[in-house]
Structure 1
Amino acid sequence: MLSIFGISKNKCTICYETYTNEQYKWCKSCQINNLKKNFPNWSSGNEKIDKLIQKAQSNIDDPNKPIFEWISYHQFNIKDMGKDGLSTVYLAIWKDGPLYWGNKKYARDSGKTVVLKSIGNFGNSQNMNLNEKNHSMKWYIDLKIYGMTQNPDSKDYMMVLNNKYFDDYFKGYCVKCDKMFENIQYKWCKPCQIDYFKKNFISSRNDEIDDLIQEMHSKINDYKDIVFEWIPYNQFDQFDIIKDVGMGLVNLYSAVWKDGPLEYDTDAKKYERRSNKLFTLKFFNTTHNVINDLSNEIREYSINADNNVLNIYGISQNPNTKEFIMIFESNYYEKYCEKCGKVYTNMYKWCKSCQLMYLKENLICESEQISDLIREMQLKINNPKDMVFEWIPFNQFYNINKEIDNGFSTVYSAKWKDGPLYWNNKKWTRGLDKLSDIQISSKSNKSKQVSLKCLGNSQNINDELNKVKLYSINYLDSNIKLYGMSQMSDTKDYVLVFESKHYEKYCANCDKFYIDNYKWCKACQVDYLTKNFTNLNIGNEKLVDFIKEMQLKINYPTDIVFEWISFNQFSNIRKVGKDQYVTVYSATWKEGPLKYNTDKRKYERHSNQVFALICLSASQNIMNKVREYSINFSATAFKIYGISQNLDTKNYVMVLEDRYCEKYCKRCCKEYTDINYKWCKQCQIISFTNWSGNEKIDKLIKEIQQYNHYLAFEWIPYDQFAGVQEISKGGFSTIYSAIWKNGPLNYNENIGKWAREPDKLVALKCLFNSQSLNDKFLSKIKSYLVNDFEKSGRILKMYGLTQNPITKDYVFVLQFTEGGNFNYWINTNNNSKYFNWLIKLKVLDNTIKGLDEIHQKKMVHSDLHTGNILFKEIYWVSSSASTYISDVGFCGNIGNEDESKIYGVMPYLAPEVLRGNPYTQAADIYSFGMIMYFVATGRLPFANREHDQNLALDICKGIRPEISESEAPKCYIDLMKRCWDSDPANRLDASEIARLIRLFHDSYNPIETIQDDEEIEEQFKEAEKYRRANNDNQSPVHPQAIYTSRLLNPFTKDLPRYIDDNAES
């Protein structure tokens, strides 16, 4: 026996199967059975409708879907009724309301507002066909259809629809056919309206005409389109003849159409007639082909109210004469040719066929060939605005003046008395400027300015006439247009008549459009040049071909015309330069070169101009040498004008612009070392007269002058210096200030000479124990000077060498800086107080850019510290040129040649250098990191301890000066630590550091309109606040903390060459 212990919550309590919808506890099979049990309790009275409803109830599959049912009409309280076109809909209250699923059973939603839509009266037939409604039913079921009912009075069946869902779809769909409206705004449905026209069709009793009307109906696509129809003749009244044209074939009348045309009423949503409107009637007499011809013509018209084609409303027939009649809008005659009865070609009341016939009949020209051409050109007319190409008697022209005569074309300007034809008020007339559409009102002012192009001898006219056919008369296109032709009375030459400004834009020879404002046509001008300036008898065919080749390279009127020039054309010949291969002369070219005259539109010579003559040796290939130069006027290369030949030596000569002579020194005729400055190395070396008497030093000075002509590095007698005063003393030198009486040499570009700057304040750096300078030290001087550091603006200038006559020590003569070194400057004039972060970044920016210049030249500084950063002025930094780097590469004792000796300031030396490794660019970066520390804190690195072997060991172990996070921005501290990293490979290069320093500056600078980085800006603002609050934070310096360069080997001799730099002490 089956034992039941309980029922699951998800099981139906009737069939014990799992609920179809567990959420709503709804069982499909049980609910369908309940509906089926209720089938006997209702009936529509129509077997097919009952089966439709039963089928719908048997297919229910969701508790949320409405139950499709038969509903008694008495259940509805009709509230409102409305029509939509041909259908009727009702708004009603359903008393009991539709079934809905709730609380484990179906209940009714009483008082529900619904929509009733009539679907027609099927009569009493039980065999009515509902198949045609299947699509409709499915569509409405998707809209939540509740069921069906029947009006007991009209017997119309009705669908009961959800009000909300129906409203949403009702706006866009036709209630009759359920298809989307073609025009939703006005609820216009094309299929229903076409069907309406079919059912209400008025037959003409002629199958061909009826088919045509149906065809025109099918073209209706919008409510505004015209309904083409058959109109009984008795609908017309008040006939009035407009015109009898076309030899009785066509008659035009105006008449009133009593009922009027069908027009869609957008308010009523249906077609209604507009009675008693005036129309134009076009009559056709009956012929054997009249219907076919009539149908074809009707198809040319339009029922679309929005386009520009003539609108047609319908067709009729006179019952007495049997003439067919087309019905047009009342203004038809405004679009209809009065002469031939055809529709005007366009809106200007212009008929092409009639007007071409008029022009043909009025053509007067004695030449049959020209007449044929004129007729051919006139056949191209398609618009009354097109130019009328015509024969113009030459006596129509006056004020004739020659404008162009350039060797291949002759053009005249003239006035045309009557002027060209133009279309106005249904006829041709003269005196309108077609380009401006301004009518000339006075007969005496009809004349029009034109251009006349002479075609030459009439015996060779055929080619020119063929070219005429290529011209345009179409007013819309951009092609060349012309008015017509004429013939000169005296020479009998034919002329073409163009608009007056034509040859301002087009070539007078080939009629191609000018590509620029020079009125120059490349093809014609190059052809002219090759025909007139290359027929040379110079005994060298290759050279003749080469000259033609050069002329074919001409692309602009400003380009140079390369040509053969007879040597006797040159005068005032004088030598200006010479080298191993060529001799250069300056000479006057008597006739001068060809240059294009824009006004006259031809080449003319410019006489008596000076040029450079390059005389080549016999072994040189003249053509290859010519190709080194340019005929392009805008090119930077030297311009070449042609070639010639010396009559005595038979050597070829290149003719170049006079500027070429400026390459040569006027003193020695050698080519300038620097043509921009007109600087001759040989002559300038000779001009220096002071020498040291020391062979090595004098040789060094000469070599430097050869390498660098921008700097006059020289030997300066010691007695040239006055007011010598000691400024400071370092480990290997003493610095003095002095007045240089004559002063340094500077090259004056304007006069092409060196000039001195007298009484110049300079710095003298006296080198200890330098009575003799070894080759290594001299090599450092040379390396420094040949690298053009004096142009930098960031590296200290070196003017020359001198020698103390008493000590015999050699002395560098240097640029003087009033501000002194960084250590001096920071403690002077309250500079530390005003040394804000913007100035700090300016100083660092200038310093790192100077260091980057040194590194770019593959050099190292080797002793970079604050003592070698010099300030131009004593006051705080005001420009990017305010600081300089000094002593580039000069660290150490003059006489030292021992590579193992280490010189420098200990806190600024990288750990690898202290351990005896070679000095590198990365070591300079380490030193820059220490300068960054000094800039940020105002404290010298390791100022609080003795600079001995213990400090050297700590530096190698990774110990660095202390800095608090408040003293500098985080981004700044991060960069500084990268610079003094123990591993050289981890240090950035100078270019990247310069980029970051500039980023810091631009982000913080309040003058910048766009800050590069807002976070960086905020960090620097906080650091500046801290600086102002702690401006007096200076620490004492240990007595054994030494910040001048010295020998450091006594403190580093016990350091291992390699060590773990990251180890902590």
Structure 2
Amino acid sequence: MRSLFGISNNKCVVCYETYTNKQYKWCKSCQINYLKQKFPDWTSGDEKIDKLIQRMQIKIDGPNDIIFEWIPYDQFNVKETGKDGLSTVYLVTWKDGPLYWGKDEYERDSDKTVVLKSLGNSQSVTLNERNDQSSKWYIDLKIYGMTQNPDTKDYILVLTNKYFDDYFKGYCVKCSIIYDNAQYKWCKKCQLDYFERNFISSRNDEIDDLIQNMQLKINDYKDIVFEWIPYNQFAQFNNIKGVGMGLVNLYSAVWKDGPLVYDTNTKKYERCSNKLFTLKYFNNTQNVINELSNEIEEYSIDNNNNILNIYGISQNPNTKEYIMVFESNYYEKYCERCGKIYTNMYKWCKKCQLIYLKGKVTCENEQINGLIQEMQSKINNPKDTVFEWISYNQFSEVNIEIDNGFSIVYSAKWKGGPLYWNNKKWTRGFDRSDSQISKSKKVSLKCLGNSQIMTDDLNKVKKYSINYLDSNIKLYGMSQMTTTKDYVLVFESKYHDKYCVNCDKLYIDNYKWCKLCQVDYLTKNFMDLNIGNERIVDLIKEMQLKVNYPTDIVFEWILFNQFSNIRKVGKDEHITVYSATWKDGPLKYNTDKRKYVRYPNQVFALICLNSSQNITNKVREYSINISATAFKIYGISQNPDTKCYAMVLEDRYCEKYCKRCCKEYTDINYKWCKQCQIISFPNWSGNEKIDKLIKEIQHYNLYLAFEWIPYNQFVGIKEMSKGGFSTVYSAIWKNGPLCYDGTKGKWSRDSDKIVVLKCLFNSQNITDKFLNKIKLYLTNDFEKSGKVLKMYGLTQNPITKDYIFVLRYTEGGNFNYWINNNNNFKYFNWLIKLKVLDNTIRGLNEIHQKKMVHSDLHTGNILFKEIYWVSSNASTYISDVGFCGDISNEDETKIYGVMPYLAPEVLKGKPYTQAADIYSFGMIMYFVATGKQPFANREHDQNLALDICEGVRPETSDQEMPKCYRDLMKKCWDSDPNNRLKASEIEKLIKLFHDSYCPIETEQDDDEIEEQFKEAERYRRTNSDNYLPTVHPQAIYTSRLLNPFTPKFIDDNVK
């Protein structure tokens, strides 16, 4: 739309260009020209300053920008406010005020509050410094301009109020000191100045000094302003009766103007009118001013504490009595007896109550009276226990509760019970523990044991606490039994459930047993010093001092006539062992009776020593700790006829000896006696060497009944697999293997047991070397670990005369069979892979720890217990340990095995070592990761043997296995045996892999390893359906003679 003159409303009326800001009709170019035209109208007197201001002015971009200008100093009413570094700051009013854009021109905002910041000594400040500082303030804090102090010649920056709010909001605008309370802008100095200027005098210099001193204690805006209050300010007087027992004259009254209270909104003190207060009249005395001052010191002007608040002083103009002015509820905090402030919130005055209690002491013994008063003087709170003298006729239902050799403790009911502070007075019959009215209180009476009170007894009483916050024993007082005249201490009921009745120490456990007192008691009462042997006496003392718990055995001297039903159960060259009944029985701590009692007619073992020379050392081999696994010893005795010492041990010791021959069991856990349990087998091979081997194994192995088994014991014989040196069959053993039943103490057979028969080719003439391998295998006790396949015995094919191993049957078959059946490879995830490897390396490590080598480790010799995936740590076995090759072979130069699994040094004719087993394990790791046999894609001939010796290894994919796994595998199949890890080291790493990848948190978790296995598992799942392994027709994975493929390496000295 155009104006009447044909010019648009959006066009500047001066230059006809479009407004820079159309809303405010502001044109930048015209306004800058306007400001330039005004340059001659002002000057700072300094050409450089003038140019600075001109540059600042032409920086404007809009109507809301501040016009930076030179301002004459006489425009300001200057008053210093604070300091900012080296600069002085003033909060002032600018008369004309700054320029601002009005309707269509610049106008001034008169009487504007601004801040002047003096640059201090700035006469010599360079322009660049001022320019930089000006620019900074201009950008950050909105600067109006500059001025100059005509006296000091210092340049001054004129800033907006925002500067003061941001940089000096914590400072008082009056005194320039930091506020004591910045939030409410409360300044102690200024307020005290205000009180001084407006001070109302009492016309008594001492009183005025007192008031001013009280005002000087003000530290916060909430504190009470203590002041002189003219008497005519009070109205509506009412006498407060029934307070102070006539000693105190109290009135309630309305204070017309009311006290001074700091208004946080207006930031100044104002009066809170017509409030009710309490007036306490102070009797005129000669030293009234001093007394008044002293009492006022007991009160507070601090609203934040629990001390009674005082507001000021007044004076009755007629009686001249001084008056203290308190908050209206004053009388609720004031003692009715003495007129002093209550000791605490329960309207309880310590001074008056101690006087009251002193009059209640009625004991005839002055020592005890003094003790009671001393104990009562410790009372500081109405909840504290009042220690008092209690007449014995106040107790009923008195019964012995404990009589343990230390003290006698009675249970009783106390009529009314102890004193409690309730409703401003002492009362009985109120149980504070459950806030109920009770006619009697259950208590415990501890007898002091004599009618003459001793100083030590009194000193012990003083150690007890009456403080209600103390959780220790509550002692109510003392009494005296009417019949025996024994003094008793009166405790809370069942106090002895937590504390020793002798020394009052806190029990350390629930057995209510105090070591210090009990050991002392045992020494005094159960030590027969007439033994006649100082060495034995010292030993008994030593053993008794080892008692640390109530369950520990009390070692003691036991007369030999205490034993009956003595029966011999065992003997060797050093000792004879008897079973016997101890008539009185051992000491045991009874928690109900709080003392040691005997448990008669218990059976124990007597170990009679043939020589007493080592009696002390033998005793120390056993334990008095009832929780220890070692045999427990109860004491020493002596046969009066033979003079031989006998150790008294728990009856379990007798279980060490065979009931048939009285010899110590070969295995005490199974109660297995080798001498008695040697089996008389009816069946033998007829081969002298083999029969001798079987007998040696039977004598060596505690648990394995290795035997000769007639071939006609086997039925259902089925061929399972065939290798280069043996054929494997499954069969049912009719009678089954022998197993020792420890509970019944005898051997029994597991009939119709499925077993494996491994028929050894050309074994008719079995060699001594091979028989030694069998002996080594069986005497190394692989049975316990369950990682190496169990061998039950030997048999012989009656037709071929070949010898046969009888082995444990594994349903899953060997690794080759297992992985290719029942979709096992599909579900063969990395968690199961690691479990299989863990089982295998544990078995191999056990073989190596027994100083053996496997010599033919490959997937055909890893057997699976179950046909499906691995479900426990005992699911795989290692078989054929040390049995590689032709049974009749005596030639050390012959090399047997599966070529891809044989270490290069073995192919070169070196002896088979544990390091060669590790090489084979590396190939098993490859098979586990890929599901493929190593070198399955090529013929196992001389070329492959050469490649292996030259460092060629199966190809691997980065995605198929984790990097940490691949690194370990390559370490295992390193060409240099010295670089390969030990089986124990590999076991730790496989466990780390498993624990890191296992979902269950363990101490060995490694996040990086976990992520590597997760990535490999994702790849496996994606590609498991593509598992179609192909095997070269001449790739052979059964053991065979390999010398035809390695003739050139036999004499090779290359390491």
What is the TM-score normalised by the length of structure 1?
Answer: 0.82
Query: Which residue of the partner structure matches residue 344 of structure 1?
Result: 342
Tell me the secondary structure at the aligned position of residue 950 of structure 1.
helix
CA distance in 1, matches of 2:429, 2:895: 102
Which 10-residue stretch deviates more, 366-375 or 351-360? 366-375
Structure 2: where are the runs of 5+ without partners? 1-39, 51-66, 78-89, 117-136, 150-155
Query: Which residue of the partner structure matches residue 225 of structure 1?
Result: 223
CA gap of 1:796–1:439, structure 2 versus 1, over 3 A, is closer
Query: Which residue of the partner structure matches residue 1041 of structure 2?
Result: 1047
Query: Which residue of the partner structure matches residue 377 of structure 1?
Result: 375
CA distance in 2, matches of 1:199, 1:836: 92
Query: Which residue of the partner structure matches residue 654 of structure 2?
Result: 661
Query: Which residue of the partner structure matches residue 4 of structure 1?
Result: none
CA distance in 2, matches of 1:841, 1:229: 88
CA gap of 1:760–1:367, structure 2 versus 1, over 3 A, is same
Tell me the secondary structure at the aligned position of residue 578 of structure 2.
strand
- Root mean square deviation of aligned Cα: 3.8
- Counterpart of 2:1027 in structure 1: which amino acid? N
Query: Which residue of the partner structure matches residue 78 of structure 1?
Result: none
CA contact (8 A) 2:452 2:486 kept: no
CA gap of 1:313–1:936, structure 2 versus 1, over 3 A, is closer
CA distance in 2, matches of 1:864, 1:816: 19
CA gap of 1:498–1:839, structure 2 versus 1, over 3 A, is closer
Query: Which residue of the partner structure matches residue 1010 of structure 2?
Result: 1013
What pairs with 1:488-507 in structure 2 (closer than 5 Å)?
Answer: 488-507=481-500
- Counterpart of 1:1034 in structure 2: which amino acid? T
CA distance in 2, matches of 1:965, 1:245: 96
CA contact (8 A) 2:758 2:805 kept: yes
Query: Which residue of the partner structure matches residue 893 of structure 2?
Result: 900
Q: CA deviation at 1:852?
A: 3.3
Q: CA deviation at 1:827?
A: 5.3
CA distance in 2, matches of 1:824, 1:517: 62
Question: How far does the alpha carbon of each residue in 1:604-649 deviate from its partner, in whole angstroms, 9 at most, with x for none?
Answer: 1111110000101234332221111111111111111111111210
Tell me the secondary structure at the aligned position of residue 502 of structure 2.
coil
CA distance in 2, matches of 1:854, 1:781: 14
CA distance in 2, matches of 1:973, 1:549: 61
Structure 1: where are the runs of 5+ without partners? 1-30, 42-63, 75-86, 99-107, 120-139, 151-157
CA gap of 1:347–1:935, structure 2 versus 1, over 3 A, is closer
Answering whether residue 465 of structure 2 is matched by residue 469 of structure 1, we say no
CA distance in 1, matches of 2:819, 2:265: 92
CA contact (8 A) 1:798 1:812 kept: yes
- Counterpart of 1:412 in structure 2: which amino acid? Y
Tell me the secondary structure at the aligned position of residue 416 of structure 1.
strand
Query: Which residue of the partner structure matches residue 206 of structure 2?
Result: 208
What pairs with 1:38-49 in structure 2 (closer than 5 Å)?
Answer: none
CA distance in 2, matches of 1:836, 1:506: 62
Query: Which residue of the partner structure matches residue 930 of structure 1?
Result: 923
Query: Which residue of the partner structure matches residue 786 of structure 1?
Result: 779
CA distance in 2, matches of 1:598, 1:457: 27
Answering whether residue 623 of structure 2 is matched by residue 626 of structure 1, we say no
CA contact (8 A) 2:247 2:338 kept: no
CA contact (8 A) 1:837 1:1024 kept: no
Query: Which residue of the partner structure matches residue 35 of structure 1?
Result: 44
CA distance in 2, matches of 1:581, 1:216: 94
CA gap of 1:584–1:360, structure 2 versus 1, over 3 A, is same
Question: How far does the alpha carbon of each residue in 1:166-200 deviate from its partner, in whole angstroms, 9 at most, with x for none?
Answer: 33346433221223322233222211111111111
Q: CA deviation at 1:386?
A: 1.1
Tell me the secondary structure at the aligned position of residue 209 of structure 2.
helix
Query: Which residue of the partner structure matches residue 702 of structure 2?
Result: 709
What pairs with 1:849-928 in structure 2 (closer than 5 Å)?
Answer: 849-874=842-867, 879-928=872-921
Q: CA deviation at 1:982?
A: 2.4
- Counterpart of 1:638 in structure 2: which amino acid? F
What is the TM-score normalised by the length of structure 2?
Answer: 0.83
CA contact (8 A) 1:92 1:116 kept: no
Query: Which residue of the partner structure matches residue 394 of structure 2?
Result: 396
What pairs with 1:196-275 in structure 2 (closer than 5 Å)?
Answer: 196-242=194-240, 250-275=248-273
| Alignment match of 1:304 (pick from 294, 302, 305) | 302
Tell me the secondary structure at the aligned position of residue 763 of structure 1.
strand
Query: Which residue of the partner structure matches residue 284 of structure 2?
Result: 286
CA distance in 1, matches of 2:651, 2:539: 23
Query: Which residue of the partner structure matches residue 1021 of structure 2?
Result: 1024
CA distance in 1, matches of 2:819, 2:76: 107
Query: Which residue of the partner structure matches residue 161 of structure 2?
Result: 163
CA distance in 2, matches of 1:230, 1:148: 49
Tell me the secondary structure at the aligned position of residue 844 of structure 2.
helix
CA contact (8 A) 1:842 1:1001 kept: yes
CA distance in 2, matches of 1:90, 1:159: 14
Q: CA deviation at 1:918?
A: 2.1
What pairs with 1:746-765 in structure 2 (closer than 5 Å)?
Answer: 746-765=739-758
CA contact (8 A) 1:115 1:163 kept: no
CA distance in 2, matches of 1:540, 1:743: 61
Alignment: residue pair count: 953
- Counterpart of 2:775 in structure 1: which amino acid? K
Q: CA deviation at 1:650?
A: 0.7
What pairs with 1:708-787 in structure 2 (closer than 5 Å)?
Answer: 708-787=701-780
CA contact (8 A) 1:115 1:162 kept: no
Tell me the secondary structure at the aligned position of residue 1054 of structure 1.
helix
| Alignment match of 1:1037 (pick from 1024, 1033, 1039) | 1033
CA contact (8 A) 2:566 2:581 kept: yes
CA gap of 1:319–1:617, structure 2 versus 1, over 3 A, is same
CA distance in 2, matches of 1:480, 1:1006: 52
Query: Which residue of the partner structure matches residue 355 of structure 2?
Result: 357
CA distance in 1, matches of 2:430, 2:906: 95
Q: CA deviation at 1:719?
A: 4.2
CA contact (8 A) 1:73 1:149 kept: no
Question: How far does the alpha carbon of each residue in 1:1009-1050 deviate from its partner, in whole angstroms, 9 at most, with x for none?
Answer: 99962343233322332231x333534413xx4433232223
Q: CA deviation at 1:1006?
A: 8.8
Tell me the secondary structure at the aligned position of residue 220 of structure 1.
coil
Query: Which residue of the partner structure matches residue 24 of structure 1?
Result: none
CA distance in 2, matches of 1:525, 1:922: 63
CA distance in 1, matches of 2:1040, 2:424: 110
Tell me the secondary structure at the aligned position of residue 711 of structure 1.
coil
CA contact (8 A) 2:793 2:805 kept: yes
Q: CA deviation at 1:208?
A: 2.9
CA gap of 1:840–1:451, structure 2 versus 1, over 3 A, is closer
Query: Which residue of the partner structure matches residue 25 of structure 1?
Result: none
CA distance in 2, matches of 1:1035, 1:1049: 23
Q: CA deviation at 1:937?
A: 5.1
Question: How far does the alpha carbon of each residue in 1:544-582 deviate from its partner, in whole angstroms, 9 at most, with x for none?
Answer: 333233222222211111111111111111111111111
Tell me the secondary structure at the aligned position of residue 666 of structure 1.
coil
What pairs with 1:57-96 in structure 2 (closer than 5 Å)?
Answer: 69-72=72-75, 94-96=97-99
CA distance in 1, matches of 2:995, 2:471: 54
Question: How far does the alpha carbon of each residue in 1:801-860 deviate from its partner, in whole angstroms, 9 at most, with x for none?
Answer: 234455554332211234433444455567667767666555444434433332343322
CA distance in 2, matches of 1:679, 1:743: 21
Which 10-residue stretch deviates more, 758-767 or 597-606? 758-767
CA distance in 2, matches of 1:504, 1:586: 39
Which 10-residue stretch deviates more, 229-238 or 662-671? 229-238
